[in-house]
Each structure stands twice: as structure tokens, then as C-alpha cells.
């Protein structure tokens, strides 16, 4: 739908389950990837508006997504009770690595810099201590 120059996409359309979208990232072909908190999945939306499941079956709800423009890999932030995580996915959605973060409640991947470091917002289980963190590539 396009109104006043603003186009609206509903990632939950077309029979693909989606709720509480947290973050969007784009690949080189202008496909959009949405972190869907409620369905614990990452959805892909093509420029033509076709919606599909890119990756599903996460243990924790997903809380954000960022794409590394150099490798094409995706960082997905996970919600946990006392242990959030960051997941590194290949351009095809394969899980490359999972980084658990004990003492955290939520990690929201938001940006990857030119060196491949991912920046993410996080909170502690109390919900009172929020910060921005950077995870450098090893």
C-alpha cells in the first residue's frame, strides 16, 4: 500500500506468520529481512512484495537484524531470560555461530561497521541497565 509516498509492507501477509517486527536489513538485491519477535523467525520480503521465511526455529525470540556488507552474513539478536545471544547467519540462512551472553536479557543487532564489528543494544534481566556494545570479529 502506498499513501503520501510511504509504502507499507506487511511481513505477515500471504500466510507467513509474523508478529512484533524488530529490525530490518537489506541485501544487495534489495530484499528486506525482518526479525520477527513473536514467530521466532527471520522473514524475507522481495522488492515485488513476496514474503517467505528466511530462517525459523530459533530457541529465543529474535530482536533485531544487521547485515555485514562485506560478507553478506547476517547478525540476529536473541531474547533470553538471563542469557541473550547473537547469532551469525550465512547469506542463505545457515547458522554459522551462536554467541551466548550470560547476564543479559536482550540483544538487538543494529549495525555492522566496515571492519565487520557488530553493534548491538542490550539490557540486563532487571531491565534497568541498557547499553550499546560492540563485538569485533576474531
What is the grid cell recorded at 25? Answer: 536489513
So what's the pLDDT on residue 9?
61
Distance, CA of 91 to CA of 68 (rounded, Å): 10
What is the grid cell recorded at 23? Answer: 529490525
Output the CA torsion sign for 125, 128, 130, 136.
negative
- All residues at 6 or more sequence positions from 44 whose CB lies less than 8 Å from its CB, including other chains: 31, 32, 33, 34, 51, 52, 53, 54
So what's the pLDDT on residue 85?
80
CA–CA distances in Å: residue 131 to residues 45, 67, 97, 104: 30, 21, 23, 11
* Kind plus residue range of the DSSP H or E element containing 2: strand 2-3
The string of pLDDT tens digits covering residues 19-66 is 677 788 999 999 999 888 778 889 898 998 888 899 987 777 788 899
- As a CATH number, domain 16-135 is 2.120.10.30
- All residues at 6 or more sequence positions from 94 whose CB lies less than 8 Å from its CB, including other chains: none
How is the chain split into domains, by residue range? 16-135
What is the helix, strand, coil percentage profile of the chain, to 5? 0, 50, 50
The string of pLDDT tens digits covering residues 106-125 is 777 677 888 888 887 777 66
Amino acid at each position: 500500500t502506498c499513501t503520501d509516498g510511504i509504502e507499507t509492507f506487511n511481513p505477515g501477509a500471504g500466510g507467513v506468520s509474523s508478529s512484533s517486527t524488530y529490525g530490518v536489513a537489506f541485501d544487495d538485491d534489495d530484499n528486506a529481512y525482518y526479525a520477527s519477535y513473536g514467530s521466532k523467525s527471520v522473514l524475507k520480503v522481495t522488492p515485488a512484495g513476496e514474503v517467505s521465511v528466511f530462517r525459523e526455529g530459533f530457541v529465543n525470540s529474535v530482536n533485531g537484524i544487521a547485515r555485514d556488507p562485506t560478507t553478506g552474513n547476517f547478525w540476529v539478536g536473541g531474547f533470553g531470560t538471563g542469557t541473550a545471544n547473537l547469532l551469525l547467519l550465512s547469506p542463505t540462512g545457515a547458522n554459522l555461530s551462536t554467541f551466548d551472553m550470560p547476564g543479559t536479557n536482550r540483544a538487538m543487532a543494529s549495525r555492522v561497521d566496515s571492519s565487520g564489528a557488530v553493534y548491538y543494544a542490550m539490557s540486563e534481566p532487571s531491565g534497568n541497565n541498557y547499553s550499546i556494545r560492540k563485538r569485533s570479529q576474531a
